């Protein structure tokens, strides 16, 4: 197959990007990677089109090269294509380097045994160091972009295989001194330095002259994989977070550096930091994180190297740099930040968060920094939430939440207010006016007031419950806050019972400090105020969550009164769910009377059966066994009770079980009639089968979804009518139907089974045309014949005949479709192919051994299928 054209590639790329997984699972997915690599060398495709192909390989390397062998072959082909490029300027060199790197990294083929790795690594290092690699790598104008690309590729490979560039630290350091503060090179050196320190620390070895090894150590000889093989263990990901202290003690703290190595390490770090201000803010943040991580656990490496950067960063307006500075503060604490620095930084964060023109994400970032501010000397146990000591209520007066704020900003400010309430508890005891706690109560009251609006937006109710959960989480140990919160929520439910789902969700997530008093208050609200019919379903939903063994008399009285209004199935089921909750809580005699009343009173048979079942369980099982029986799993405990075992068997009987199929299904003789093709299915059973449902699924997308076929009862030995399965093909083609049976057995079990697939042949789709008027058959056929071209296709073939001749063959297979017949030598046949195609046959001038057949169709894809069908007729004859 030759190279594909630009339009074909554009169509394939569009289809692939629409759904990569579906495309790779289709017929063209297997050849996509091979065609891409092949057409990169084609002279017919333009460079922009080849760049688009390489962009695809950069975005989806795991889909194109799913295993190491495929990735190795792809990288080798890409490197060969790179070498074969002419020496003139080309836009393909950099994408080819990136594509080869991505293939090796994503496919897991980067290893000492990889030939492509052995070719790519020296090439990248040569480009990065500025060595002359010959005219094959383009003119001098391309060398600088190629060098920057090589740095990026090496950084990607070092990220995927830590320690890969450990032997190149001296070379990279020399390049940094020679090239200046190049951003990719600075990040590459910082990453390689950090990985080498971690690997050597875990191996219990020093740097062993890695920082002083020059370029001569990398020339000639194989690549040094020693550190990369030792660094197979998982390293800290490149994210602005720090390892735990215990990791440091057994990690970098174990690294012993000689005085010369310590001096070279400090010089390297200082060299990187001194020129860091020339990098972009994001690159500076990553560089500071990498270097801070490398120095944090090392003995004898003071963080004073970061002090000049700290002076510069304290006034930065870049969020990435501010985050990097806070990361350094979390790492080094008072060793790097004085109390004055901490106060200045905290005040700056507070004032910046109050700026009225801040976008919402930036505002949330500043609030997050305040909520998680790393203090030099935090009070309380590690991990406990608390406001910074220097952050008082006066400083945060402008950060108090308001009902006018955006929901996310309001919740973040509310979180800060809760922390201030904890800090100001003593001041409140001394009678301070307008304390944070009073402000918090007013805010929550305002949120509840908005949530209580009948028909109000759902977002207002959601915000109210989010705020309530946050307060309960932060102030769980303060009853002075939780008591009015409980009362306010109970009042909210009284006003708007439709919020019952929100209350249930809140009860499921809060701690016992709020859960128990709120549950009692809500139960009292429900049972003391029987709601009208529109509120009854919310009361029942709430009572199913809060009902317990307390206040049994009031709860049962409410249920008796509610039963008269439970006229539909949904309300009856909600009422029975409350009864189930009372059963699990151990409620006794009064509930038994109620269940008997429900079994007689409820109109729905399902509700009556449930009430009888609950009454039987209550009458025969003790409290603990009853709770287990009604629990989430009926099969977990093995209890000494025959009724429980029977109940477990009953639950198993209700489950659909997989079983060998006692059903045989086959395709019967077809009848060419009707508007759509219909399969006539013959079914036989080996044992009685009830409520049979046959479900069909077409493999592929050739047919529209098929409906199920239902049979009430089948018994072995009894004749059955054929089952009719209408087909809805999207194009005339044979198909394979997967069949699944769902049925009930004589023992009452519900089973499912997979049956052998059914084949839909090309002939099963044949339908006749309406009968033309008498005498107009020939004109009708000729009109159909002429209408097939030029849009359709035409073909001719020789159809061998058996000893019975043409007349017998047509009579057996094609008689319903014959339009004009001149037996025994000539027949004109018109076949309708769903959904809207046609197949026309001219069988004329028959001879003793065969007949020439002319075919025309307006669906060119059906032509080979028609040829195979006609040849099959002669073979069958």
pLDDT tens figures, 777-810: 888 988 888 888 888 888 888 888 877 778 888 8
Please say if the pLDDT value at position 733 is more than 80.
Answer: yes
Number of alpha helices (DSSP H) and beta strands (DSSP E) in the chain: 36, 14
C-beta atoms surrounding 458 within 10 Å: 10
Please say if the pLDDT value at position 870 is more than 50.
Answer: yes
Cα–Cα distance, 27 to 9 (Å, whole number): 16
Q: Give the number of C-alpha atoms closer than 13 A to the C-alpha of residue 464, restricted to the C-beta side.
A: 25
Q: Look at 299-313, 339-353, 543-557, 859-873 and tell me which has the smallest mean pLDDT.
A: 299-313
Answer yes or no: are the C-beta atoms of 149 and 248 closer than 8 Å.
Answer: no
Cα–Cα distance, 519 to 502 (Å, whole number): 13
Cα–Cα distance, 762 to 733 (Å, whole number): 6
Dump the DSSP string for 290-331.
Answer: HHHHHHHT-TT--GGGGHHHHHHHTT---HHHHHHHHHHHHH
Answer yes or no: are the C-beta atoms of 843 and 825 closer than 8 Å.
Answer: no
Average of per-residue pLDDT across 95-105: 92
Cα–Cα distance, 425 to 419 (Å, whole number): 10
Q: Minimal CA–CA distance to 491: which of 459, 455, 529? A: 529
Cα–Cα distance, 573 to 536 (Å, whole number): 12
Q: Look at 431-435, 558-562, 683-687, 854-858 and tell me which has the smallest mean pLDDT.
A: 431-435
Dump the DSSP string for 46-115.
Answer: -HHHHHHHHHHHHH-HHHHS-SHHHHHHHHHHHHHHHHTS-SS--SSHHHHHHHHHHHHHHHT--STT-H
Please say if the pLDDT value at position 859 is more than 50.
Answer: yes
Average of per-residue pLDDT across 271-294: 88
Alpha helices in 621-654 (DSSP H): 623-629, 642-653
Residue 160 vs residues 69, 125, 569, 607, 787: alpha-carbon distances, Å: 18, 17, 59, 61, 63
Strand, coil or helix: 231: coil
Average of per-residue pLDDT across 170-182: 82
CA R_g for the chain: 40
Answer yes or no: are the C-beta atoms of 411 and 403 closer than 8 Å.
Answer: no
Please say if the pLDDT value at position 876 is more than 90.
Answer: no
Question: 311 vs 876, which has greater pLDDT?
Answer: 311
What letters, b where the CB count within 10 A reaches 16 and e where it falls short, cover 39-71? Answer: bbeeeebeeebbebbbebbeebbbbbbeebebb
Please say if the pLDDT value at position 848 is more than 80.
Answer: no
- Give residue-wise pLDDT tens across range 693-728: 999 998 777 888 888 999 888 888 888 888 999 998
Most confident of 71-80, 646-655, 788-797: 71-80
What's the pLDDT at 775? 81
Q: Look at 258-262, 317-321, 595-599 and tell me which has the smallest mean pLDDT.
A: 258-262
The Cα angle at residue 244 between residues 239 and 246, in degrees rounded to 5:
150
Strand, coil or helix: 793: strand
Q: For residue 4, which phi and psi values (nearest 5 degrees)? A: -80, 155
Collect all residues with Cβ–Cβ distance below 8 Å to 575 and sequence separation of at least 6: 540, 559, 562, 563, 566, 598, 607
Answer yes or no: are the C-beta atoms of 297 and 253 closer than 8 Å.
Answer: yes
Please say if the pLDDT value at position 249 is more than 80.
Answer: no
Cα–Cα distance, 555 to 366 (Å, whole number): 50
What's the pLDDT at 532? 61
The per-residue pLDDT of the chain, averaged, comes to 82
Q: Minimal CA–CA distance to 612: which of 631, 598, 626? A: 598
Residue 668 vs residues 679, 698, 722, 759: alpha-carbon distances, Å: 8, 19, 8, 12
Please say if the pLDDT value at position 647 is more than 60.
Answer: no
DSSP 3-state percent helix, strand, coil across the chain (nearest 5):
55, 10, 30
Collect all residues with Cβ–Cβ distance below 8 Å to 282 and sequence separation of at least 6: 320
Average of per-residue pLDDT across 594-609: 86
- Give residue-wise pLDDT tens across range 297-350: 676 667 888 888 888 888 888 899 999 888 888 888 888 888 888 888 888 888
Give the model's confidence band at 645: pLDDT under 50 very low, under 70 low, under 90 confident, else very high.
very low
Q: Look at 25-34, 240-249, 609-618 and tell me which has the smallest mean pLDDT.
A: 240-249
DSSP assigned state of 788: T
Looking only at the bridges linking them, the beta strands covering 656-658 and 750-760 are: parallel
Which residues are bridge partners to 726 per DSSP? Answer: 678
Give the model's confidence band at 384: pLDDT under 50 very low, under 70 low, under 90 confident, else very high.
low
- Residue 451 burial (10 A CB sphere; 0-12, 13-18, 19+): buried
Dump the DSSP string for 242-273.
Answer: ---HHHHHTTGGG----HHHHHHHHHHHHHHH
Cα–Cα distance, 589 to 621 (Å, whole number): 13
CA 341 to chain centre: 44
Answer yes or no: are the C-beta atoms of 192 and 168 closer than 8 Å.
Answer: yes
Cα–Cα distance, 170 to 563 (Å, whole number): 84
C-beta atoms surrounding 15 within 10 Å: 14
Q: For residue 679, which phi and psi values (nearest 5 degrees)? A: -85, 130
What's the pLDDT at 335? 83
Two structure tokens written together for 47:
């460079």
Give the model's confidence band at 142: pLDDT under 50 very low, under 70 low, under 90 confident, else very high.
confident
Which residues are bridge partners to 837 per DSSP? Answer: 833
Two structure tokens written together for 577:
């769910």
What letters, b where the CB count within 10 A reaches 16 and e where it falls short, cover 560-578? Answer: eebbeebeeeebbbbbbbb
Strand, coil or helix: 729: strand
Collect all residues with Cβ–Cβ distance below 8 Å to 263 and sequence separation of at least 6: none
The Cα angle at residue 259 between residues 256 and 261, in degrees rounded to 5:
70
DSSP assigned state of 763: G
Give the model's confidence band at 507: pLDDT under 50 very low, under 70 low, under 90 confident, else very high.
very high
Most confident of 14-28, 289-303, 566-580: 566-580
Instruction: Show contacts of 205-208: CB within 8 Å, 24+ apart.
Output: 206/255, 206/256, 206/257, 206/258, 206/261, 207/257, 207/261, 207/264, 207/265
Cα–Cα distance, 524 to 547 (Å, whole number): 10
Please say if the pLDDT value at position 234 is more than 80.
Answer: no
Cα–Cα distance, 157 to 135 (Å, whole number): 26
């Amino acid at each position: 197959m030759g190279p594909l054209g630009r339009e074909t590639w554009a169509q394939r790329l569009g289809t692939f990007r629409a759904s990569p997984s579906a495309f790779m699972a289709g017929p063209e997915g297997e050849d996509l990677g091979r065609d891409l690599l092949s057409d990169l060398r084609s002279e017919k495709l333009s460079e922009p089109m080849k760049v688009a192909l390489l962009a695809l390989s950069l975005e989806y390397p795991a889909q194109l090269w799913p295993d190491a062998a495929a990735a190795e072959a792809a990288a080798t082909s890409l490197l060969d294509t790179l070498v074969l490029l002419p020496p003139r300027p080309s836009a393909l060199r950099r994408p080819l380097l990136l594509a080869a790197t991505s293939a090796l990294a994503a496919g897991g083929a980067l290893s000492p045994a990889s030939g492509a790795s052995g070719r790519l690594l020296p090439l990248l290092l040569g480009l990065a160091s500025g060595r002359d690699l010959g005219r094959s790598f383009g003119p001098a104008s391309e060398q600088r972009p190629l060098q920057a690309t090589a740095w990026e590729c090496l950084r990607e490979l070092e990220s995927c295989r830590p320690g890969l560039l450990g032997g190149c630290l001296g070379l990279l350091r020399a390049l940094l001194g020679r090239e200046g503060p190049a951003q990719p090179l600075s990040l590459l050196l910082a990453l390689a330095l950090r990985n080498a320190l971690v690997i050597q620390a875990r191996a219990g070895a020093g740097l062993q002259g890695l920082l002083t090894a020059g370029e001569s150590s990398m020339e000639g000889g194989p690549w040094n994989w020693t550190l990369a093989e030792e660094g197979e263990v998982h390293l800290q990901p490149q994210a602005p977070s720090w390892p735990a202290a215990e990791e440091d003690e057994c990690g970098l703290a174990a690294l012993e550096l000689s005085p010369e190595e310590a001096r070279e390490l400090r010089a390297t770090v200082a060299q990187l930091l001194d020129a860091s201000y020339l990098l972009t803010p994001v690159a500076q943040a990553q560089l500071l994180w990498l270097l801070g991580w490398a120095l944090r656990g090392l003995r004898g490496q003071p963080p004073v190297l970061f002090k000049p950067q700290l002076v510069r960063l304290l006034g930065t307006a870049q969020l990435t740099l501010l985050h990097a500075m806070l990361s350094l503060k979390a790492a080094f604490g008072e060793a790097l930040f004085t109390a004055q620095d901490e106060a200045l930084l905290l005040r700056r964060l507070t004032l910046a968060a109050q700026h009225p023109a801040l976008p919402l994400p930036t505002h949330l970032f500043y609030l997050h920094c305040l909520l998680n501010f790393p203090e030099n000397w935090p009070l309380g146990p590690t991990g406990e939430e608390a406001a910074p000591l220097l952050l008082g209520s006066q400083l945060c007066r402008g950060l108090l939440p308001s009902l006018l704020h955006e929901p996310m900003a309001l919740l973040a400010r509310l979180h800060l207010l809760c922390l201030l309430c904890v800090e100001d508890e003593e001041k409140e005891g001394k009678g301070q006016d307008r304390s944070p706690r009073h402000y918090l109560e007013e805010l929550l009251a305002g949120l509840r007031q908005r949530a209580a609006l009948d028909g109000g937006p759902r977002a207002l109710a959601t915000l109210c419950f989010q705020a309530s959960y946050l307060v309960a989480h932060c102030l769980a140990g303060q009853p002075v806050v939780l008591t009015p919160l409980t009362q306010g929520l109970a009042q909210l439910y009284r006003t708007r019972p439709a919020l019952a789902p929100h209350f249930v969700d809140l009860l499921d997530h809060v701690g016992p400090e709020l859960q128990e008093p709120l549950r009692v208050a809500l139960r009292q609200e429900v049972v003391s105020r029987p709601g009208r019919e529109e509120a009854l379903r919310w009361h029942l939903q709430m009572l199913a969550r809060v009902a317990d063994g307390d206040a049994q008399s009031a709860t049962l009285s409410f249920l008796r009164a509610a039963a008269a209004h439970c006229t539909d199935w949904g309300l009856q089921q909600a009422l029975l769910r409350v009864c189930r909750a009372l059963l699990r809580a151990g409620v006794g005699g009064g509930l038994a009377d109620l269940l008997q009343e429900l079994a007689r009173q409820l109109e729905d048979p399902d509700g009556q059966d449930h009430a009888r079942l609950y009454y039987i369980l209550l009458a025969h099982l003790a409290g603990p066994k009853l709770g287990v029986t009604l629990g989430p799993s009926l099969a977990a405990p093995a209890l000494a009770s025959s009724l429980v075992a029977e109940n477990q068997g009953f639950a198993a009987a209700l489950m659909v079980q997989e079983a060998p199929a006692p059903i045989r299904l086959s395709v019967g003789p077809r009848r060419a009639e009707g508007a759509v093709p219909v399969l006539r299915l013959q079914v036989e059973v080996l044992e009685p089968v009830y409520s049979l449902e046959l479900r069909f699924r077409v493999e592929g997308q050739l047919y529209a979804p098929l409906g199920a076929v239902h049979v009430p009862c089948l018994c072995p030995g009894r004749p059955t009518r054929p089952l009719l399965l209408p087909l809805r093909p999207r194009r005339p083609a044979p198909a394979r139907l997967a069949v699944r049976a769902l049925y009930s057995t004589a023992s009452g079990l519900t089973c499912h089974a997979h049956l052998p697939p059914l084949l839909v042949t090309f002939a099963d789709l044949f339908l006749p045309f309406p009968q033309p008027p008498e005498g107009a058959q020939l004109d009708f056929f000729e009109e159909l014949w002429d209408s097939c071209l030029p849009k359709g296709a035409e073909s001719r073939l020789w159809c061998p005949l058996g000893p019975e001749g043409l007349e017998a063959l047509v009579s057996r297979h094609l008689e319903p479709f014959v339009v004009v017949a001149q037996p025994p030598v000539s027949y004109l046949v018109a076949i309708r192919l769903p959904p809207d195609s046609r197949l026309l046959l001219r069988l004329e001038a028959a001879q003793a051994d065969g007949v020439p057949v002319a075919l025309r169709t307006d669906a060119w894809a059906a032509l080979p299928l028609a040829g195979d069908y006609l040849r099959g007729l002669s073979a069958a004859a």
